[in-house]
Structure 1
Amino acid sequence: MVCIEVPAMVGLAGGQVTLSDRRTRRSWSVEVADFSIGVYPVTRTQYAAATDPVPTAGDRGRSPAVDVSWWDVVRYCNILSERRGLQPAYQIDVDAEYASWDVTADGYRLPTEAEWEYACRAGTSGPRYGPIDDIAWYRGNSAGRCHAVGGKRPNPWGLFDMLGNVWNWCWDIYDAEVYGSYRVLRGGGWADEHWSCRASVRRRSHPTFAIDDVGFRIAGSAPAG
């Protein structure tokens, strides 16, 4: 059995965050409980070790796992949980397009949208936690490709690539009344203009969607020990 590396995580004390949506011109405040979140996006090596019986040489390295759908990601979270002896967070039926989250489970999961923005901001209030060229890979400096995780400056809470490099899948449905099962993406990616790489920017996509600038990071419901 291939040894599974658990992505590095950091525990965060909860607090309040205000989310906003440019499309609807709406804003709302959310109380965030204590949680833990990945220091980096999950890498190709980490993802392949959990999902491929025999990971190939091309899966090695610290490049973010991309071309992964939302369904791929929630399955990865459950596999990682099971292999580490934790209770899986999700009940999944892809054929029925159904997934539920057991909030009492101690397994790995996706961050909620509020957790993601709270972690991204790290106590800051501006559109970004630093100058964009210092903290993010985006269209202006990426040379048209994804880069290894951790290559730019972290935010004040030690989290890398919260903005730029790859978009992050979140647990939440974007707007069920308008977009059905579309899920939230956050953070901006290597192919995006600077204005997409801001803490408040929300994007949406179908949970089967997979492309080379969308990845993810894991979370947990309590601070990592």
Structure 2
Amino acid sequence: MIPIPAGRVTLSDRRTQRRWPVEVEAYHIAAFAVTQAEYALVTGAQPSAARGDRLPVESVSWWDAIRYCNARSQREGLRPAYHLDPENGEDVGWDDSADGYRLPTEAEWEYACRAGTTGPRYGPLDEIAWYRDNSDGHPHEVGGRRPNAWGLYDMLGNVWDWCWDVYDAEVYGSYRVLRGGGWFDEHWSCRASVRRRSHPTFTVDDVGFRVARSGPR
């Protein structure tokens, strides 16, 4: 887990042509996407289409990621960040005072991805990311490309990361935000500002996640 200082990031959405600043409190985020070995250790499941202990787990839904965060927190003696309603599987609440694992917000994700940079990427794409032009049609082990200035790997490419946020409730209902681009994406999808959305039950072989934890208060 990498400590990230407090700061500000400006998010943008090409669909609505909107830009909005967000203040980000200090937090921690994983240097790597959750691997298949880590996911199996916590959940006992191996959902990924491609197999390898150090490959990022993929073919996991937003709900799978939420449940993993809580299970890992409990395993490590931390207070789970999420409250799940046993009578309504569609309801989840986030206790932002909890010290357990959670998904980053999309503001936290983009702020961490940029690591102080302001351009579309934190380095030359072929040096920092696995994407359609260099992935040979499959995901790669985490950490195989150059990290950003804050020591975070594969923030762009390899697999998309689920984020906590609802994308646009008025238009897309419960759809959640995905960030970062994946091994099958063209170069234009592997940029720090790109937002994608999908239903929280959706799974595909280029979508995974990385975990975060709230900082001390």
TM over 0.5: yes
For 1:153, the equivalent position in structure 2 comes to: 146
1:92: how far off?
1.5
For 1:108 and 1:60, the matched residues in 2 are separated by 23
Deviations 1:6-57 (A, max 9, x none): xxx11111100000000000000000000000000000000010001899xx
Letter in 1 for 2:141: A
SS at the partner of 1:117? helix
1:96: how far off?
3.4
For 1:61 and 1:170, the matched residues in 2 are separated by 23
Q: Percent identity?
A: 68
For 2:41, the equivalent position in structure 1 comes to: 49
Change beyond 3 A, Cα 1:28–1:54: closer
Select which of 75, 87, 102 maps to 2:79.
87
For 1:84 and 1:108, the matched residues in 2 are separated by 10
For 2:113 and 2:136, the matched residues in 1 are separated by 24
Letter in 2 for 1:126: G
Q: Does 1:124 align with 2:117?
A: yes
For 2:205, the equivalent position in structure 1 comes to: 212
Q: Does 1:100 align with 2:60?
A: no
Letter in 2 for 1:81: S
Select which of 55, 59, 80 maps to 1:63.
55
For 2:167, the equivalent position in structure 1 comes to: 174
CA-based RMSD of the aligned residues comes to: 1.6
Letter in 2 for 1:151: G
1:15-54 map, 5 Å: 15-52=7-44
Confirm or deny: 8 A CA contact 2:36 2:46 kept in the other structure: no
Select which of 138, 151, 157 maps to 1:164.
157
Confirm or deny: 8 A CA contact 1:45 1:59 kept in the other structure: no
Deviations 1:67-122 (A, max 9, x none): 00000000000000001111100012374311110011110000000000000000
Q: Under a length normalisation based on structure 2, what TM-score does the superposition of the two structures give?
A: 0.95
Change beyond 3 A, Cα 1:59–1:50: farther
Deviations 1:107-152 (A, max 9, x none): 0000000000000000000000000000000001000100000000
129-138 or 86-95, which moves further after superposition? 86-95
For 2:66, the equivalent position in structure 1 comes to: 74
Runs (5+) with no aligned partner, structure 2: none
Matched residue pairs, number? 213
Change beyond 3 A, Cα 1:54–1:47: closer
Q: After the TM superposition, list the runs of 4 or more consecutive aligned residues in structure 1 that deviate by more than 3 angstroms.
A: 93-96
